[in-house]
């Protein structure tokens, strides 16, 4: 193919000359070189002519060209241009942008952890933060190998994703081995890190970056060079000793356990291994310390690192330095100590060179506790002077030394001196000087010393001592008096490093002393009225005064007033020559006069005497007035100023009411108000006076307010009896009290229920009564009222024991009517014998489940309304109502029950208070627990005697020939009638019978006489007795039986026993089919 292009004025025109051969050769090349068209016949034709095509509009000049071919040609040219542009962007522009972005990005560290340190490297765990990463997201692909200061390299094998948010930094976790490539450079690196305030790391790497998304190409060898400035350790300044403990020391060595606070201002967390520092004081070695942990990690921030070591010397100079440190430590002074890191400062050789020469300067604090930790007065004597302002003291003191060296390295103290002040409430009481007191060790920490007759010189006017003495007298074990002993002490002795001679030891100890407990531990155990003198009663008190403390107090020559402890009215006076109060109990006799200071107080004296006779405990106070402080005031005046002691004076130390006995105790439950209870009864009270009170009296009325308690449970109830007249037997001292319908206030319903349950269900119950009584009595001086007399006794009551052992008997059951085809109405007569003094006046309605004894299956219901119990001497007859119910579950037992009753046999039954529907058969809630557990075993009597159903069998009179023909079978039947009596109020109908009659008093098939099979309807009215029409008896007796019957028949009387079944209808509603019966020893006569 040949072509020519001719220029035109404004357009490009291509001329193409086509030939068939050329077309075939270049068909797969540029389509503009071969122009073809189809003829109308569908064959390709080659144009032999040159055409002119306008490259702008696609129109042709000369011959026409198809438009779609031209559009395809233009599209191909455009795609080629676009491809070239994309190549330029991806391989020229984007790499430049990525490189620029990486260069502009800032790198910092959030944390750096250096651990797992070996000989040639360690594990670097860090968090890097890339910021200012621009708006284009990208990924830095692993591996990223970073060179750190030409010291070593770390490798990141995780993809780093840059989110493309300029405000959101990228966090890069690093967890890589750090391989040290230049050991000398690393040593310089570590020293800079430890000693300099800052370090600059130069990080270099070549990164492979994939921008935007995973479809983009990866650009390798992008420079990743960063310079990072980090805070370094700065020689670990501001180091402090948090605590120091020397208590592991022994008799020859002093060991130190020190917790050092080391601030780490950097973000580096570095494993330092096991650290060891030498200790120096004034540039002299005094020992060493090493870390307790095998690997100590220095973390960013404050580190509390425990060390242990030994304080020791290697020369006489260092021994002197160490002694000074120990002396400072014991006497409250600090010591400037240095911890020096040597060549072996760490167990990691990789870090040892960098740490060597590190000096940690610290203040070694003094012992943070008092060397003399406590002063304990084990005994003391206090004797106030009666003519001077001083107090003579003697004491034994236990000194507890809080040795900072521990139990195994004691301070051996031989003597001690003190010059101290006694301070009370921050004011000086007085000064005490003692010197060169021998000290005796008690154990490793406690020592004992003693001084005698040392004077406490009171300060100023003695006003502080007066207050101290008053509070000392009042101080007890719960509230002891606290004062301080402040001053200086000196000790001599030895310790682990040699002689010990310490002066200027601060004494500032709080001392706690138990005083005289306000002289309130005063017990009057004997009191006598010894007659009269003038207007006073002479009294003698045998008392015991307790001194709970360790101080022996001796008080002399003073007088105390005696007053009522409540009103403060002066009743008399007690002069005292010597009052010696040694530690412990002090027995003594005090003599006084019961006499008022004026006439207005006579009423209080009478009250005092009356209270004593009434047995009341009253408070009595002995007191001294306040001292007037002047130049003549002595120590004894200051000591007894406002002195006061109290005692509880018991009027009568015996039990006035010795016994309370219940003669009758009737309980009545209010029918209208739930849980309201009344008591009617009679009590016998034994009332006796003590032997030291000899007077006659006659009780007129009594009042008792007492609580009733059962089994240590909360109070069950309360009874208040007001002004009950009494019958006083002055020979036996018994008071008989009779009261009627007094309310028993129920305080705890549950407890009352427990009491009622025990009363009903067990054979005995005990109730404790406790309260107060009052008695109006007539004595020689007039009528007095004795009040607040304690009443406390246990009442032992016989219980009902579930009315077992025949206490409750069912005398008779009557069927009054049929309620339905399966239920009968009953009338039940019962008799109860009350074994207890407790009787029931009104017990509400009582419903009991009638059950068969063995199986426990319910047969019916018995209702006693109202339920009551007569007194012990009388039987209680109760007419109850009930029902007898036949169900599918109990039909067999119910039929058996009726069968036994008709047969004249008793049935063992159980009466239960818990009904089949789980309700409790009582209308009184307070009895619910008792009735729910009630199980009464008794018997329902059968129909015998006057209540037998079959009274007599009447045989039609036989002739001699008929009697003699019976054995030969000539007579086949006998004609008989039966005398029946209905024992019930409901009418009966016997609609059929199938009965066998046996000869004799018992059922014996071998002795059968004959069989009755009769279906006639026999109707018997309530309590009606009838004789049935003739009933044929088919003779079935054996020959021997027939022969045995001859004589009785000839005599006209025979004893028969009947067994079999009858059909009975009760009250035309309830049918009992095939009811088994056995009737023994029925009289049969010829009619």
Q: pLDDT by residue (tens digit) across 38-75?
A: 444 444 444 444 545 454 444 444 445 567 777 787 78
- Tell me: pLDDT of 502 over 90: no
- 968, with CB counted inside 10 A (0-12, 13-18, 19+), is exposed
Torsional class of 329: left (φ above 0), alpha (ψ -120 to 50), beta (otherwise): alpha
Residue 24 has pLDDT above 50, yes or no: no
Distance CA 868, CA 865 (A): 9
CA distance 699 to 727: 8
Q: Tokens 């990789």, residue? A: 350
Given a cut of 80, is residue 881 above it in pLDDT? yes
Q: Which of 293-302, 385-394, 555-564 has the highest mean pLDDT?
A: 293-302
Residue ranges of domains in the chain, CATH in brackets: 2-65 (no CATH), 97-182+195-231 (2.60.40), 240-364 (2.60.40.10), 409-513 (no CATH), 518-596+616-629+639-650 (2.60.40), 657-788 (no CATH), 801-942 (2.60.40), 946-1086 (2.60.40)
Which tokens hold the place of 510?
């709080």
Angle at 777 (CA atoms; ends 772, 779), nearest 5 degrees: 135
Q: Lowest-confidence range among 52-56, 80-84, 482-486?
A: 52-56
Sort 741 into a burial class: Cβ within 10 Å, 0-12 / 13-18 / 19+: exposed
Strand 875-885, strand 440-441: pairing: unpaired
pTM: 0.47
Question: What average pLDDT does the structure give for the chain?
Answer: 83
Rounded CA-CA distance 387/633 in Å is: 8
pLDDT score for 606: 54
How far apart (Å, rounded) are the C-alpha atoms in residues 750 and 927?
10
Supply the DSSP symbol for 713: P
Beta carbons of 145 and 153 less than 8 angstroms apart: yes
Q: Which helix (H) or strand (E) holds 226?
A: strand 219-231
Q: How many Cβ atoms from other residues are within 10 Å of residue 599's Cβ?
A: 8
- CA nearest to 128, candidates 239, 203, 33: 203
Q: How far apart are CA 906 and CA 944, in angstroms?
A: 10
Half-sphere exposure in the Cβ direction for 84 (13 Å, CA): 6
Concatenate the DSSP letters of all residues of 583-621 into one string. SEEEEEEEEEEE--SSGGGHHHHHHHHHHHHTT-EEEEE
Average pLDDT over residues 199-212: 82
Extract the runs of DSSP E, i.e. beta strands, from 496-616.
498-513, 522-533, 536-547, 551-564, 570-581, 584-594
Mark out the alpha helices in 89-132 (DSSP H runs). Answer: 94-104
Residues 109-113: what's their mean pLDDT?
88
CB 291 within 8 A of CB 274: yes
149 versus 692: the higher-pLDDT residue is 149
Q: Are 620 and 453 contacting, i.e. CB atoms less than 8 angstroms apart?
A: no
- Cβ(19)–Cβ(34) below 8 Å: no
Residue 6 above 90 pLDDT?
Answer: no
Region at 282 (left for phi over 0; alpha for psi -120 to 50; beta for the rest): left
pLDDT of residue 3: 40
- Out of 102-116, 659-673, 742-756, which region has the weakest mean confidence (pLDDT)? 102-116
Cis peptide before 559 (omega within 30 of 0): no
- 932-969 pLDDT per residue, tens: 999 999 999 999 888 999 999 888 876 666 666 666 66
Residue 473: is the preceding peptide bond cis (ω within 30°)? no
- On whether the CB atoms of residues 839 and 869 are closer than 8 A, the answer is yes
Give the per-residue pLDDT at 92: 63
Separation between Cα atoms, residue 923 and residue 969, nearest integer Å: 68
Supply the DSSP symbol for 99.
Answer: H
Looking at beta carbons, which pairs linking 777-782 to residues 24 or more positions away fall under 8 Å? 777/697, 777/698, 777/699, 777/700, 778/697, 778/698, 778/700, 779/695, 779/696, 779/697, 780/695, 780/696
- Pairing relation of β-strands 522-533 and 1070-1086? unpaired
Where do runs of H (alpha helix) occur along 229-361? 316-330, 349-355
Is 202's pLDDT higher than 90? no
DSSP one-letter code for 672: S
Closest by CA position to 881, among listed 953, 921, 826, 933? 826
Of 50-64, 240-254, 539-553, minimum mean pLDDT range: 50-64
Assess contact for 140 and 209: CB atoms under 8 A: yes
How many residues belong to the chain? 1087
- Residue 339 CA to residue 287 CA, distance in Å, equals 10
Distances (CA, A) of 1066 to 812, 818, 887, 893, 1060: 18, 6, 16, 18, 19
Tokens 């009864």 found at: 681
Q: In this predicted model, what pLDDT tens digit does every residue of 892-921 receive, in sequence order?
A: 999 999 999 999 999 999 999 988 888 888
Find the distance separating the first CA and the last CA of the chain, reported in whole Å: 164
Which token pair is 189?
A: 């690196």
Answer yes or no: is pLDDT of 276 > 70. yes
Q: Which two tokens stand for residue 634?
A: 């002595």
Band of the pLDDT at 603, cuts 50, 70, 90? low
- Backbone angle region of 98, left / alpha / beta, with phi > 0 → left and psi within -120 to 50 → alpha: alpha
465 touches 459 (CB < 8 A): yes
Between residues 1083 and 968, which one has the greater pLDDT? 1083
Positive or negative, the CA dihedral 779, 781, 785, 791 is negative
Average pLDDT estimate for 251-260: 90
Instruction: Output the pLDDT for position 1019.
Output: 94
Q: What is the gyration radius of the CA atoms in the chain, in angstroms?
A: 61
Give pLDDT, residue 767. Answer: 92
3-state class of 320 per DSSP?
A: helix
**Pairing between strand 170-180 and 160-162?**
unpaired
| Residue 109 Cα to chain centre, angstroms | 52
Percent of the chain with pLDDT over 90: 30
- For residues 862 and 825, what is the distance between their CA atoms, to the nearest angstrom? 10
Give the number of other Cβ atoms within 10 Å of residue 783's Cβ. Answer: 11
Segment 392-416 shows an average pLDDT of: 88
Determine the Cα–Cα distance for residues 176 and 148; give it in Å rounded to an integer. Answer: 13
Two tokens, residue 479:
């509230």
Q: How many CA atoms lie within 13 A of 1023 on its CB side?
A: 4
pLDDT at 692 over 70: no
């Amino acid at each position: 193919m040949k072509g020519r292009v001719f220029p035109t004025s404004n357009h490009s025109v291509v001329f193409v000359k086509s030939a068939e051969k050329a077309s075939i050769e270049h068909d797969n090349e540029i389509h503009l070189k071969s122009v073809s068209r189809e003829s109308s016949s569908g064959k390709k034709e080659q144009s032999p002519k040159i055409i002119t095509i306008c490259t702008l509009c696609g129109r042709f000049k000369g011959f026409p060209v198809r438009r779609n071919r031209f559009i395809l040609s233009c599209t191909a040219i455009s795609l080629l241009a676009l491809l070239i542009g994309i190549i330029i962007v991806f391989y020229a522009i984007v790499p430049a942008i990525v490189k620029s972005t990486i260069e502009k990005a800032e790198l910092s560290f959030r944390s750096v952890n250096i651990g797992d340190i070996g000989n040639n490297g360690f594990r670097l765990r860090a968090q890097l933060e890339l910021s200012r990463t621009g708006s284009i997201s990208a990924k830095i692909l692993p591996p990223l190998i970073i060179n750190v200061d030409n010291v070593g390299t770390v490798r990141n094998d995780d993809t780093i994703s840059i989110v493309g948010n300029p405000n959101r930094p990228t966090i890069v976790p690093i967890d890589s081995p750090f391989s040290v490539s230049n050991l000398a450079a690393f040593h310089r690196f570590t020293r800079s890190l430890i000693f300099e305030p800052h370090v600059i790391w130069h990080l270099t790497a070549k990164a492979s970056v994939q921008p935007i998304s995973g479809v983009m190409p990866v650009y390798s060898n992008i420079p990743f060079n960063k310079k990072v400035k980090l805070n370094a350790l700065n020689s670990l300044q501001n180091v402090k000793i948090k605590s120091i403990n020397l208590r592991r020391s022994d008799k020859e060595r002093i060991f130190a356990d020190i917790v050092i606070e080391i601030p780490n201002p950097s973000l580096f967390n570095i494993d330092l291994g096991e650290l060891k520092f030498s200790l120096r004081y004034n540039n002299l070695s005094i020992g060493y310390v090493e870390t307790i942990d095998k690997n100590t990690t220095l973390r960013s921030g404050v580190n509390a690192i425990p060390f242990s070591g030994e304080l020791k010397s290697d020369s006489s100079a260092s021994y002197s330095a160490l002694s000074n440190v120990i002396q400072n430590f014991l006497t409250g002074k600090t010591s400037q100590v240095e911890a020096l890191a040597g060549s072996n400062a760490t167990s990691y050789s990789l870090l040892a060179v960098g740490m060597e020469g590190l000096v940690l300067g610290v203040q070694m604090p003094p012992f943070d506790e008092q060397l003399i930790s406590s002063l304990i007065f084990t005994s003391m004597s206090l004797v106030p002077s009666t003519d001077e302002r001083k107090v003579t003291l003697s004491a034994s003191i236990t000194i507890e030394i809080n040795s900072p060296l521990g139990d195994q390295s004691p301070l051996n103290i031989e003597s001690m001196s003190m010059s101290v002040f006694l301070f009370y409430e921050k004011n000086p009481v007085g000064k005490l000087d003692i010197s060169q007191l021998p000290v005796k060790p008690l154990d490793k920490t406690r020592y004992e010393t003693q001084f005698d007759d040392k004077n406490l010189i009171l300060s100023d006017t003695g006003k502080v001592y007066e207050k101290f003495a008053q509070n000392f007298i009042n101080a007890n074990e719960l509230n002891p008096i606290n004062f301080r002993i402040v001053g200086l002490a000196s000790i001599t002795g030895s310790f682990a490093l040699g002689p010990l001679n310490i002066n200027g030891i601060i004494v500032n100890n709080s001392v706690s002393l138990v005083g005289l407990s306000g002289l309130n531990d005063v017990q009057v155990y004997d009191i006598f009225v010894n007659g009269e003198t003038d207007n006073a009663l002479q009294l003698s008190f045998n008392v015991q005064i307790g001194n709970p403390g360790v101080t022996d107090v001796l008080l002399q020559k003073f007088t105390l007033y005696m007053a009522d402890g409540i009103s403060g009215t002066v009743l008399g006076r007690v002069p005292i020559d010597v009052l010696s109060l040694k530690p412990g109990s002090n027995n003594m006799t005090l003599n006084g006069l019961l006499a008022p200071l004026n006439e207005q107080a006579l009423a209080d004296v009478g009250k005092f005497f009356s209270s004593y006779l009434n047995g009341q405990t009253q408070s009595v106070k002995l007191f001294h007035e306040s001292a007037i402080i002047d130049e003549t005031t002595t120590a004894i005046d200051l000591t007894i100023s406002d002195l006061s002691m109290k005692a509880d004076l018991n009027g009568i130390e015996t039990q006035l009411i010795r016994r309370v006995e219940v003669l009758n105790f009737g309980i009545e439950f209010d029918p209208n108000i739930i849980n309201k209870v009344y008591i009617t009864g009679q009590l016998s009270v034994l009332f006796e006076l003590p032997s030291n009170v000899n007077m006659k009296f006659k009780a007129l009325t009594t009042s008792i307010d007492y609580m009733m308690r059962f089994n240590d449970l909360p109070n069950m109830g309360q009874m208040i009896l007001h002004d009950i007249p009494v019958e006083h037997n002055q020979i036996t001292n018994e008071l008989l009290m009779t009261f009627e319908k007094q309310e028993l206030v129920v305080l705890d319903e549950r407890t009352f229920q427990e009491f009622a349950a025990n009363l009903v269900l067990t054979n005995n119950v005990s109730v404790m009564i406790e309260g107060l009584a009052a008695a109006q009595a007539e004595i020689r001086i007039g009528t007095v009222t004795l009040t607040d007399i304690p009443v406390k006794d246990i009442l032992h009551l016989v219980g009902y024991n579930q009315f077992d052992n025949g206490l409750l008997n069912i005398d008779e059951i009557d069927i009054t009517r049929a309620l339905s085809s399966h239920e009968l109405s009953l009338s039940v007569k019962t008799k109860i014998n009350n074994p207890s003094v407790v009787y029931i006046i009104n017990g509400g309605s009582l419903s009991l489940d009638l059950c068969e004894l063995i199986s426990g299956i319910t047969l019916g219901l018995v209702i006693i309304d109202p339920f009551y119990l007569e007194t012990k001497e009388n039987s209680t007859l109760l007419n109850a109502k009930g029902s007898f119910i036949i169900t599918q579950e109990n039909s067999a037992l119910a039929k058996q029950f009726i069968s036994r009753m008709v047969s004249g046999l008793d049935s063992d039954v159980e009466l239960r208070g818990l009904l089949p529907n789980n309700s409790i058969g009582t209308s009184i809630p307070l009895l619910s627990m008792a009735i729910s557990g009630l199980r009464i075993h008794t018997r329902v009597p059968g129909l015998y005697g006057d209540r037998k159903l079959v009274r007599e069998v009447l045989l039609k009179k036989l002739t001699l020939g008929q009697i003699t023909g019976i054995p030969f079978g000539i007579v086949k039947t006998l004609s008989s009638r039966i005398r029946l009596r209905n024992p019930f109020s409901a009418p009966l109908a016997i609609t059929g019978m199938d009965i066998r009659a046996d000869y004799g008093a018992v059922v014996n098939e071998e002795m059968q006489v004959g069989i009755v099979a009769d279906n006639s309807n026999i109707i018997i009215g309530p309590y009606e007795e009838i004789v049935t029409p003739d009933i044929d008896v088919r003779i079935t007796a054996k020959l021997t039986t027939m022969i045995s019957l001859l004589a009785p028949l000839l005599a006209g009387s025979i004893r028969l026993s009947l067994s079999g079944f009858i059909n009975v209808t009760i009250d035309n509603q309830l049918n009992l089919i095939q009811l088994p019966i056995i009737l023994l020893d029925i009289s049969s006569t010829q009619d």
